[in-house]
């Protein structure tokens, strides 16, 4: 197969950056990322961006929030009394926690702020609302 298409299994090296240039993820020093194009296991903008790439090609892919982790939602930010946290948790900004919905489903949140009385948690993905810039190298296509 000469070009990546839906159904191809690809291996890519990548570096993901925010618009300010800070790196949020990279395969540098690791095995390449392997996935089947069209399976929906990778954010849509990245997956769509590799379609048409050839082995050995490098490409910059810009992914808008609606093709990545969505826009930030204010309704996913909640404040709780600090005494509702388990005693063994000392809050830190950026700390990840798991919460459980009434239906038993578990989801990740992070602490975005706290003081002596309250803790603010955010269930948005940390990259929600951000444009993502990827430098991608196609390693293999099968």
- Whether residue 2 is contained in a domain is answered as no
Domain interval for residue 34: 9-70+127-141
The mean pLDDT of 38-43, rounded to a whole number, is: 96
Both tokens assigned to 19? 């618009």
Q: Quick: pLDDT tens for 67-79.
A: 999 999 999 999 9
Q: In angstroms, what CA-CA distances link 110 with 68, 77, 120? A: 19, 10, 9
Q: How many domains does the chain have?
A: 2
Tell me the CB-side half-sphere exposure of residue 58, using CA atoms within 13 A: 5
User: Which CATH number goes with the domain that contains 113?
Assistant: 2.40.10.330
Angle among Cα 62, 73, 122 to the nearest 5 degrees reads 100
Q: What are the two backbone dihedrals, phi and then psi, of residue 49, each rounded to the nearest 5 degrees?
A: -70, -25
pLDDT at 53 over 90: yes
């Amino acid at each position: 197969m000469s070009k990546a298409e839906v159904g191809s299994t690809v291996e890519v090296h990548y570096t993901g950056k925010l618009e300010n240039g800070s790196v949020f993820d990279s395969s540098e020093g690791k095995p390449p990322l392997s996935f089947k194009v069209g399976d929906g296991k990778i954010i849509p903008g990245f997956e769509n961006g590799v379609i048409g790439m050839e082995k050995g090609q490098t490409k910059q892919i810009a992914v808008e929030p609606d093709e990545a982790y969505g826009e930030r939602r204010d309704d996913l930010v909640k404040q709780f009394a600090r005494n509702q946290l388990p005693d063994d948790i000392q809050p830190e900004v950026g700390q990840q926690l798991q919460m459980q919905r009434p239906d038993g489903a578990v989801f990740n949140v992070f602490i975005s702020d706290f003081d002596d009385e309250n803790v603010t948690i955010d269930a948005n993905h940390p990259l929600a609302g951000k444009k993502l810039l990827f430098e991608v190298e196609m390693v293999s296509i099968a």
